Amino acid sequence: MHDDRSLVEDRLRRVLAERIRPAVHPESVPLETAVWHAPGEPVPVAEGLAAEPRPIEVGTRWGAPWGTSWFRVTGTVPEAWAGRTVEALLDLGFDQDLPGFQCEGLVYRPDGTPVKGLHPRNQWVRVGSPVAGGERVRLHIEAAANPLVLGSGPTPLGDKDTAGNAPQYTLTRMDLAVFDETVWHLVLDLEVLGELMAELPVDSARRYDLLRAVERALDAVDLQDVNGTAARAREQLTGVLAAPAVPSAHRVSAVGHAHIDSAWLWPLRETVRKVARTAANMTALIEDEPEFVFVMSQAQQWAWVKEHRPEVWARVRKAVAKGRFVPAGGMWVESDTNMPGSEAMARQFVHGKRFFLEEFGIENEEAWLPDTFGFAAGLPQIIRAAGSKWLLTQKISWSRTNSFPHHTFHWEGIDGTRILTHFPPVDTYTCAMRGAELAHAARNFKEKGRARHSLAPTGYGDGGGGTTREMVARAARLRDLEGSPTVVWETPAAFFEKAAAEYPDAPVWVGELYLELHRATLTSQARTKRGNRRSEHLLREAELWAATAAVRTGSAYPYEELDRIWKTVLLHQFHDILPGSSIAWVHREARATYARVAGELEALIAGAQRALAGEGSRELVFNAAPYEHDGVPAAGAATPRTSGAATTPQPRAAGGYVLDNGLLRVEIDARGLVVSARDLAADRETVAPGEAAALLQLHQDFPNMWDAWDVDSFYRNTVTDLTGTDELGVGEDGASVRVVRAFGNSRATQVFSLPSGERRLVIDTEVDWHETEKILKLAFPLDLHAERYASETQFGHVFRPTHTNTSWEAAKFEACNHRFVHLEEPGWGVTVVNDSTYGHDVTRTVRTDGDRGTTTTVRVSLLRAPRFPDPETDQGVHRFRHALVPGAAIADAVREGWRANLPERRTTGAHDVAPLVTVDEEAVVVTAVKLADDGSGDVVIRFHEAHGGRARPTFTAGFAFSGLAVTDLLERPLADAARPVREGERITVRLRPFELMTLRLRRP
């Protein structure tokens, strides 16, 4: 037989596009349309409905960037359409691609009842089925003129303050139309079979069965009477659509999904409306499709619907009660997981799970993070401690260097905790149930022969929209179809139960899940990152001192204020806000929010400390860090033993200055560079021979694709060392060395100080940054041989190699740390601590002359200057504090990291303040002291082993307590937890390496 595949396939494409799809709505009449443009920000629904609109014609431009327009459409169903299905087709000027990234709308009835959302792939609103004819139709559309930012390059459209007023869209269609369901089903039949046919082997019999059936169906269609012959054409396809899948077919659990970025190329306020539109769409689809199940994560987004769209919320609650609209993930937002601190990461689950428990009585057992940019090694323990046991993501499929070897596996964290993890092999969180997607999932699935289940998040996302009726119709045809994976709608929990049952001996991956992409998100938008770090530590202080004041003085504990502030900080850890990959508007608002949060927390801290210290003239230092310092206990207040003055600089013979406090001798040369940092007790030089530490280095930074997200390895090919000096002298305080350097259009000021009695060189850096497409690094070349180094992460630290033996190691050329990076030879190490930076790189070289020793260089990433999506990223003044600590063991790194981020607070008062709790083990770090969230007045203490070894700490409570329990993160007693040993006010527990534990002490 002659091979005519291409002939039939080309025929199918053209007939579908030019004849059959247009026949889905064969008749239409125009609607009368009027519009009212809201001034400024969006208005309440009642105001938009009551506004008096003016007539507007199809073809008219509308919509200033970020503006809101209320369209009113009215019309009459023709009498001749009686008995037929009628829909309103409402095209606001959509580009058919990129749903969620452009204009959108939410349709209301005149009484304010929401109907459904509009986006490019969902433009219809059902008027009646069947209609009687003669019905009056009146609908209102709250239309958002969100500009298309994606693909625009550097653009002012990312902030309403710079976007201008030019109309963005052209009103394209406002019609009533007949909906021919038979033709619509024919379209789906042909699409599914045509897509499946294209994925089958060319020499397979099944492919030719489909080809001939499609050919017969096309022959049966009268192209001049598609509507009259569609049923006849469908009959030709019933046989091939009824053929069942083979028993070994891959099995796909489809779950309706609309990953909605809580902010990205739109501001937070727009996400509130995106969620409402999507929820309205999905609740409507649930009513129409009895098997469809939809999941929505991010408790914050649920809370927005509850607060801002009560009518939609009522529909959501009804669908949740039926088990069809499913809360997922148990987190406040789908956060970044690399940069949030220990407590913040824990609170993501606390606030997320508690919301779903309180609103619906539902407890999530899965973490749902499809789009997060890599996963810190401390996360498995946090997920378990929150009462969950599964994780879903697909983002690691974006890695550019190495292909991850598993799709279903156990992920083991730094403490040994394992959670069952699934990466959907469909490699997207916006599956549309297309044949190519499902075929890719089946081919790509790496567990073949041992497992056969995978999950497919199905629906338009990023900007929202969700699942469409076409996707549901495709899934119905693929439920049991020869040549295709089988598809069934089910919840994430149902999928994970099946996956766990069929693959109990799944392989294990140990350590972080590093995304080999988007590495620059650890640095972009430095002010946002500083705001996050500062907020986390202010929250620790506020909880600590407020709890201490409540127990010691009876002061009221600010439950509501802390709850609200925590949720605000958690929201801003969303994976496009904290990583710095949102538009200018988002980061402008974030800066203002962090400033407001800081003010509120400072007020709470000051109030609690006043209550604790009393009225008096004694000098007191409040120490919120988990370590005693200078006679001031951890989590207490006392008069310090010393003044803490810094060492006075002395002239250096060869130019520059020397700082020497008897423990550390630092030489700063005539260029203002640290050329020596000698640990005097160990008689050990820190700075590599011929090198300079605290060196600012500038690189060209123009990645191949994602400006704010990526830094590509070739940035290292060229570097400029900033060694020119404009000013060098003793600082105004007389106890520091100050260096000023101008470079490009920017200016950097560094201040070096050496505190008395401390083996710690403090580097304060201020940069007035006005570069473009550059990255600024702070380098510390160390005379130290280390094949691995430690970076702090949640509740511990993770080790990474300094070498590049394999492609896996080479790909980690930019990585994340929290408060410290630590390198060590046996018996001697160095740590670099910071107060607000995350990105860094570590490299090593062997010197070819002299001692032929190893130079290991730590470089902190300070600033970038990408132009998309915020063309003014990082422009302006920034301040950083780092410290170089020679002779540091890991214990020193942990302690110094806390000190850098929780500086002491000096005040006056009447008496010392005893800590609520003390611990006798240096390796155990208390991360939170607070009152229980339920308002009982119980004291909650969270802590972990921080050095990577076993510990048996004893805690001493500084107050009377009548009961004791080990709890989960939500402060619920754990039945299977090891029982602490109590002797009076002393509590002894056992901890494995990096184990976190929460104790709840009941107050009488």
| DSSP class of 646 | B
Cα 777 from Cα 769, distance rounded (Å):
13
Phi and psi torsions of 957, nearest 5°: -85, 135
**Closest to 883 (Cα-Cα) out of 843, 922, 836:** 836
Q: Which stretches does DSSP call E strand in 608-744? A: 618-623, 636-638, 650-651, 657-660, 664-668, 674-679, 684-685, 695-700, 720-721, 727-730, 737-743
Cα 270 from Cα 273, distance rounded (Å):
5
Contact call for residues 764 and 879 (beta carbons, < 8 A): yes
Cβ neighbours for 73, distance < 8 A, ≥ 6 positions apart: 31, 32, 33, 88, 90, 137, 138, 139, 140, 141, 174
Q: How far is CA 458 from the centre of its chain?
A: 20
Residues linked to residue 677 through DSSP beta bridges, in sequence order: 666
553: alpha, beta or left? (left if phi > 0; alpha if psi -120 to 50): alpha
Q: Which stretches does DSSP call E strand in 64-159? A: 68-76, 85-91, 104-108, 114-118, 124-128, 136-144
- Indicate the angle between helix axes 181-199 and 226-235, nearest 10 degrees: 50
| DSSP class of 650 | E
| DSSP class of 909 | E
Cα 298 from Cα 69, distance rounded (Å):
28
| Helix or strand run (H / E) with residue 287 | helix 268-288
Indicate if 371 belongs to the active site: yes
Contact call for residues 366 and 391 (beta carbons, < 8 A): yes
Residue 784 half-sphere exposure toward CB, CA atoms < 13 A? 32
Cα 362 from Cα 107, distance rounded (Å):
30
Three-class SS of residue 536? Answer: helix
Residue written as token pair 């969180």:
429
Q: In what order do the strands lie in the sheet with 618-623?
A: 636-638, 618-623, 905-909
CA distances (Å), origin 1002, targets 379, 560, 953: 29, 21, 20
The Cβ of residue 766 has, within 10 Å, a number of other Cβ atoms equal to: 15
Among candidate residues 175, 189, 209, 371, the one labeled active-site is: 371
**Closest to 583 (Cα-Cα) out of 117, 98, 65:** 65
Cβ neighbours for 28, distance < 8 A, ≥ 6 positions apart: 89, 175, 176, 177, 178
**Closest to 295 (Cα-Cα) out of 494, 511, 107:** 494
Cα 657 from Cα 670, distance rounded (Å):
8
| Helix or strand run (H / E) with residue 843 | strand 839-846
Give the per-residue SS3 of 716-776. HHCCEECCCCCEEEECCCCCCEEEEEEECCEEEEEEEECECCCCCEEEEEEEEECCCCEEE
The set of catalytic residues is 371
